[in-house]
């Protein structure tokens, strides 16, 4: 076996249930808001039995089940939990490929441990640390691992042995082969290519004529080989650690922007601390309502290792920017990374920063925070972009 595919079950719903146990076994939809024009971002498996799905307008979901419990999405929280989970996976393999907020692949080709036992250890760790369910698929390729993961939901573990791969893929419907979307599946089905076996038997010329170069990809994938979207990628070396946040409204208010910089400085520090990194450079970014942007950066001869230092240097850079038009996004990044504690920092007071991290890890993000940022952790309508 070479790959594990880990998929968090109903991730947004599960994040809410982790802190609200009374929601267990109830039909729940995490939505972009409470108005009928809002959209379902994640539905519990109980809600799915009524036909409720992600991407569905809220008014339609309510018509299918009037007593549906609706929770407004807190994407900043989910993104933060996701980052912790993905970094935790490095405890089990140095080769982790994150493919979405709730999915990742682990390369386990060099492991001597039984893959099923490894998968159980990972599931138990995620359950114990985050109180979240996950499903894991195991296969010789990423496409097989993802396919068997989908078949094993929810909260399960599935494995296809290498010698059974072609047989397993043959029995799948084309819509269950990862990478084949709804529209493509309809085109294939219209031409009597309904199963993985049909895809294996179809001529390459026919497939390319129907769906272009993806036809060649899908034929390989039907045999359990990675192609196209699933080609092997070496894990990227982290060159910077950063966060950005879309503001709840466009603003020229420099004090508000400073508060967001403080908020982001703590998030950057927390992540750097988990990765055992310090930096010797700071970059800030502002995007404006006309979609233009300004960045400022500076490299230092000393290390930056606390959130206070990150924030102090960010303020210096901010003061070099004339805010003449409304800002819509604020970002900050720590770069020129080195292992933590390898060089003494310019400042010596690390107690507050490290204590904050320990409290976050135990009680959740922003369980404590500087007073100036307590009111700015707004719920966002889209996933905050990651700066690497």
Active-site residues, by number, are: 103
- Containing 368, the helix (H) or strand (E) segment is none
Rounded distance between C-alpha atoms, residue 226 and residue 144, angstroms: 8
Distance of CA 276 to CAs 261, 269, 282, 338, Å?
Answer: 22, 10, 17, 9
The b/e string for 148-165 (b: 16+ C-beta within 10 A; e otherwise) is bbbebbebbbbbbeeeeb
Q: What is the CA radius of gyration of the chain?
A: 23
ω before 90 within 30° of 0 (cis)? Answer: no
Paired residues of 281 in beta bridges: 299, 335
Q: Which of 292, 298, 336 is closest to 320 using CA atoms?
A: 298
Mutual orientation of helices 204-211 and 182-190 as an angle, nearest 10°?
130
- Containing 237, the helix (H) or strand (E) segment is none
DSSP state of 40: E
Report whether 265 contacts 332 (CB < 8 A). yes
Rounded distance between C-alpha atoms, residue 296 and residue 314, angstroms: 9
Q: Give the position of tokens 């808001």.
A: 33
Rounded distance between C-alpha atoms, residue 346 and residue 128, angstroms: 38
């Amino acid at each position: 076996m070479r790959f594990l595919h880990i998929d968090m079950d109903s991730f947004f719903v599960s994040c809410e249930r982790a802190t609200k146990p009374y929601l267990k076994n109830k039909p729940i939809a995490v939505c972009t808001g409470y108005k009928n024009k809002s959209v379902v971002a994640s539905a519990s498996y109980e809600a799915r039995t009524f036909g409720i799905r992600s991407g569905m307008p809220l008014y339609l979901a309510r018509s299918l089940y009037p007593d549906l419990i609706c929770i407004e999405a807190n994407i900043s929280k989910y993104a933060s939990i996701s980052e912790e989970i993905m970094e935790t996976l490095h405890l089990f393999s140095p080769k982790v490929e994150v493919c979405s907020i709730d999915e990742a692949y682990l390369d386990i080709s060099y492991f001597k441990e039984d893959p099923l036992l490894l998968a159980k250890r990972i599931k138990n760790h995620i359950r114990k640390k985050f109180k979240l369910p996950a499903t894991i698929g195991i296969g010789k390729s990423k496409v097989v691992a993802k396919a068997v993961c989908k078949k094993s939901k929810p909260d399960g573990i599935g494995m296809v042995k290498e010698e059974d791969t072609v047989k397993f893929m043959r029995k799948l419907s084309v819509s269950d082969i990862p990478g084949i979307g709804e529209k493509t599946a309809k085109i294939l089905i219209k031409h009597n290519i309904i199963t993985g076996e049909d895809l294996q038997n179809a001529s390459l010329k026919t497939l390319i004529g129907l769906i272009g170069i993806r036809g060649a990809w899908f034929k390989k994938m039907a045999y359990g080989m990675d192609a196209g979207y699933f080609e092997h990628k070496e894990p990227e070396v982290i060159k910077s650690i950063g966060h950005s946040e879309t503001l709840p409204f466009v603003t020229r208010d420099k004090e508000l922007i400073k508060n967001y910089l403080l908020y982001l400085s703590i998030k950057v520090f927390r992540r750097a601390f988990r990765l055992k990194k310090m930096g010797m450079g700071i970059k800030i970014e502002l995007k404006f309502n006309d979609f233009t942007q300004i960045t400022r950066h500076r490299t230092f001869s000393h290390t930056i290792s606390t959130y206070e230092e990150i924030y102090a240097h960010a303020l210096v850079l901010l003061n070099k920017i004339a805010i003449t038009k409304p800002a819509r996004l604020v970002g900050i990044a720590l770069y020129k990374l080195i292992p933590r504690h390898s060089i003494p920092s310019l400042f010596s007071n690390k107690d507050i920063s490290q204590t904050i991290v320990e409290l976050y890890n135990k009680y959740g993000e922003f369980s404590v925070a500087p007073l100036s940022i307590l009111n700015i952790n707004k719920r966002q309508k889209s996933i905050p972009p990651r700066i690497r």
